[in-house]
Structure 1
Amino acid sequence: MKVLCRLGENDIAKKYLELALESHPYFLPVKRNLLHLSWNEMPRWHFRMMNDRLRNQAYDKAITSLISKGYKNAIDIGAGCGLLSLIASKNPEASVVAIEESKTLARMCKDVLIENNVKNVVIMNCYSTDIKEPLGKCNLIVTETFDVALFGERVLESIHHALSTLKTEDDFKVVPARAKVYITGINLPFILY
């Protein structure tokens, strides 16, 4: 199971654990591993992010405003469970490509869009940087791949790639459009290794 999980094959690991549990319903190590796998399917930070009302309202306001101004061909990099794609798809004239590398989150994104009867979003399960040519028209890039240090989740690489490869129009927008980085100097009498 650990090998399958390290390879990102959680679905296969889950299937084998469920088969093992069917043949031995009271075998506690299998139950424990199945519970562990289920708990780790969704990153813990995702719950806090999805419940951040101010953050989500700011994304909604920015994306809705830009789409109403004609930026209707959107790519959602790191789509997660599909919140930004869902926001962009509210305008029926919008065309959205949701790119998510995690199989679990891509599946969840698909479920969210089906549940909301969304028809104008295409989901791709891959890294955005693996795409070598434009996916069609693109004049809006939305993303929420920022961690607390701004440089995690390959965000700068992803946005640079999107601007050089996926964006097709000279008049384009990126949401979020800017960030602030705060630095604090620390004086240590010794070097930490």
Structure 2
Amino acid sequence: MPNSNSKFHCNYRGGQEAGRRELVSRSLQSAQYCLEEQDFGTAYAHYLLVLNLAPELKTSVKETFQFTLFKWAEELDSLARIQDLFNCYEQALELYPNDEVICNSMGEHLFRMGFRDEAAGYFHKAVKLNPDFADAKENFYRVANWLVERWHFIMLNDTKRNLTYLRAIENAVHSGCRSVLDIGTGTGILSMFAKKAGASFVYACELSKTMYELARDVVAANNMEKEINLLHLKSLDIELPKHIPERVSLVVTETVDAGLFGEG
């Protein structure tokens, strides 16, 4: 009897595998036919089925899947089916989470719809995945020009101003302030001042996704990524001890703005 049961289970599993291969094969044929008929929505659905049933085919169908996704996304965009478009990209990124081409395309759609901060995040990820991806680099720099206010550059080149902040932070840290929170960190310059001054714990929050990613790059370039805890949060949303273990002894910020005149 045991041998009979074992044989049955083997036959059952073999039948399941044969059925899976048959379904994958038919779905691939149907997807190709739909592409020839320019029925991109149905083709996309077939490719989703194939990739979920046969993840081992991800590499071989990747380019065709991308083409199908982009064509279907163009149709959804033209029909103003924005949520469906985003859902398709989310599904695609679940299958290919580290695909710079899909990330860049998602960013382009977001940028055209006015979601510039979110678009910058996808462009930045695409560049991180492939630093030689020219389209993603161009897109990231373009959206950064929209999001990074001009006064940032004036402020960063204001030596007298920066030295004043540096000395004030050094005085506070040397007086016993060992934990620091930088609100609206921007490029992360005040956080780095605090760490260089000797603060034991430095936290920095930034609401803008673009500036947050920029701060991460700047901090990493200065070899402080393990010493400064960057939070993509609004300061009012910070919770203890969820984001920061305890109250800090010093808060620094450079969020002064005169409205009409701006910074600087």
Task: Note whether the superposition's TM-score is higher than 0.5.
Answer: yes
Among 132, 135, 144, which residue is 2:239 paired with? 132
Moved more, 3-12 or 61-70: 3-12
Per the alignment, residue 171 of structure 1 pairs with none
State the shift of 1:34 in Å: 7.0
Q: Distance in 2 between matches of 1:144 and 1:125?
A: 17
Structure with a larger share of its residues in helix? 2
Check whether the contact 1:92–1:120 (CA below 8 A) recurs between aligned residues.
Answer: no
Q: Which amino acid aligns with 1:11?
A: G
User: Which structure has the larger Rg over C-alpha atoms?
Assistant: 2
Q: Distance in 2 between matches of 1:75 and 1:105?
A: 17
Per the alignment, residue 101 of structure 1 pairs with 207
Are 1:83 and 2:193 an aligned pair? no
Structure 1 residues 109 and 12, CA, compared in 2 at 3 Å: closer, same or farther?
Answer: closer
Per the alignment, residue 141 of structure 1 pairs with 251
SS at match of 1:9: helix
Q: Which amino acid aligns with 1:138?
A: V
**Structural RMSD (CA):** 3.0
Q: Deviations over 1:24-72 (max 9, x none)?
A: x9xxxxxx97764242242211101111111111100000111011101
Structure 2: runs of 5 or more not aligned:
1-110, 127-132
SS at match of 1:107: helix
Q: Which amino acid aligns with 1:115?
A: A
Per the alignment, residue 168 of structure 1 pairs with none
Q: Which amino acid aligns with 2:233?
A: C
Q: Distance in 1 between matches of 2:228 and 2:142?
A: 32
Q: Distance in 1 between matches of 2:233 and 2:252?
A: 16
SS at match of 2:118: coil
Q: Distance in 1 between matches of 2:141 and 2:173?
A: 42
Q: How do 1:1-193 and structure 2 match up within 5 A? A: 1-6=111-116, 8-12=118-122, 36-118=142-224, 119-133=226-240, 135=244, 136-149=246-259
Q: Which amino acid aligns with 1:5?
A: F
State the shift of 1:5 in Å: 2.5
State the shift of 1:13 in Å: 6.3
Q: Distance in 1 between matches of 2:221 and 2:164?
A: 23
Q: Which amino acid aligns with 2:190?
A: L
Q: TM-score, normalised by structure 1?
A: 0.61
Q: TM-score, normalised by structure 2?
A: 0.46
Check whether the contact 2:182–2:205 (CA below 8 A) recurs between aligned residues.
Answer: yes
Q: Which amino acid aligns with 1:78?
A: G
Identity across matched positions, percent: 34
Structure with a larger share of its residues in strand? 1
Check whether the contact 1:77–1:128 (CA below 8 A) recurs between aligned residues.
Answer: yes
Q: Which amino acid aligns with 1:89?
A: K
Check whether the contact 2:116–2:143 (CA below 8 A) recurs between aligned residues.
Answer: no
State the shift of 1:120 in Å: 2.1
Structure 1 residues 106 and 7, CA, compared in 2 at 3 Å: closer, same or farther?
Answer: closer
Structure 1: runs of 5 or more not aligned:
16-21, 26-31, 153-193
Structure 1 residues 71 and 35, CA, compared in 2 at 3 Å: closer, same or farther?
Answer: closer
SS at match of 1:148: coil
